[in-house]
Amino acid sequence: MAKLISFDIDGTLEVGDPPGGITMEMVRRLQGLGYLIGSCSDRTVSEQQRIWRDHGIEVEFTVLKHRLEAVKEQFPAEEHYHVGDTETDRRAALQAGFSFLSVGDAVAGLLNGLTPQ
């Protein structure tokens, strides 16, 4: 069964405002490894879709931050991760039954060629 990673945008992705440590190339690599990818952000869904489309990445989901639980219902997976930069991300992740990864932990895992723990 696949693993799923949800990304916050601002402060998390390199294209966020402020930019975060997760590059779009990292996202592509994870997708290439078979991860189900999407975003969960305070940005509107249409903005999230535009960001991914602008970078040629086809994602499985784009949801508002309080809708993470719906992603879990829609996509059964071996693991559900949410990568974010704030306490709000951590809380949203835990409430939805996701494992929370800070941006730093996620980057460290990727740089080591490891999948997130």
Cβ atoms of 83 and 8 within 8 Å: the answer is yes
21 binds Mg ion (CB under 5 A): no
Pick the piece of the chain touching Mg ion (CB under 5 A) from 43-51, 55-63, 78-86, 104-112: 78-86
85 binds Mg ion (CB under 5 A): yes
8 binds Mg ion (CB under 5 A): yes
**Residue number, 8 or 68, with CB nearest to Mg ion:** 8
**Residue number, 2 or 91, with CB nearest to Mg ion:** 91
Q: How far is the CB of 47 from Mg ion (least distance, A)?
A: 14
Residue with tokens 């990292």: 26
Whole-angstrom distance, CA of residue 14 vs CA of residue 43: 15
